[in-house]
Structure 1
């Protein structure tokens, strides 16, 4: 079972980002009507840029796909790290009901990046002093 844990975590995290990335890219899931006002303002500001949400959802979809197929996993984890941090912070400050899912996503990413045998050695190289 221990050997399968990184695979399960990778597939789960990959599915989350691939599915929700595509859903956001193609507007398959409408935003809930009862979003907190601060979150609506935040989303409106980001959408006003004209490119940000497309870039974000495309990045999530591509990284999710990389995790699903097992290619460039350490790179996908590093690229997703600031996105996961932002997901956690947005939910912490603007929509607390989403914090549990944000924690699960964060824990999966931390586990894969720093504790899962096939990927942690590569990610940890980024933190070594020369």
Structure 2
């Protein structure tokens, strides 16, 4: 039962990352009307760095797809860690209203990392 719940959460989390990554390339999601001014300025600053958004979008797509496949889930979680840290810091400083959703994403990724801890041991052990 635990694995089925984790699989469903990973599917939903992975698809949300794929969606966010695709939007960085295709720009199909409209900007919310009530977006805080600080978040708009932050987004404009990120857009000024021409290579940053495509890089983040590619990482979101790759990590999201890897997270949806049970065999590659551990790798997907590791790929998404820097992305989710950036999302967390952006929301903490510019738009705290997004923190509940970010917290759910962090919880799912943390669960995947905890569930696959033995797979990471060769990386960190001598």
Check whether TM > 0.5: yes
The two structures have a TM-score, normalised by structure 2, of: 0.87
1:22-68 per-position Cα deviation (integer Å, ceiling 9, x unaligned): 13321011222332222222111111111211111121012111222
**Aligned-residue CA RMSD (Å):** 1.8
Structure-2 residue corresponding to 1:100: 100
* 1:120 equivalenced with 2:121 (yes/no): no
- Residue deviations 1:65-124 (CA, integer Å, cap 9, x gap): 12223353222211110111111121122101100000000000000111x2xx232135
8 Å contact kept, 1:9–1:112: no
State which drifts further: 103-112 or 16-25.
16-25
CA–CA separation in structure 1 for the residues paired with 2:121 and 2:93: 30
User: SS state of the match for residue 4, structure 1?
Assistant: helix
Aligned mates of 2:39, 2:108 — CA distance in 1: 25
Contact 2:7 2:68 in 1 (8 A): no
Please, which runs of 5 or more residues in structure 2 have no aligned partner? none
State the alpha-carbon separation in 2 of the partners of residues 24 and 71 from structure 1.
27
Q: Is the 8 A contact 1:18 1:64 kept in 2?
A: yes
Provide the TM-score with structure 1 as the length reference: 0.84
Q: Retained in 2: the 8 A contact 1:78–1:123?
A: no
Report if aligned partners of 2:42, 2:94 keep a CA contact under 8 Å in 1.
no
- Structure 1, unaligned stretches of length 5 or more? none
Q: How far apart, in 2, do the equivalents of 1:33 and 1:21 lie?
A: 21
Higher share of residues assigned helix: 2
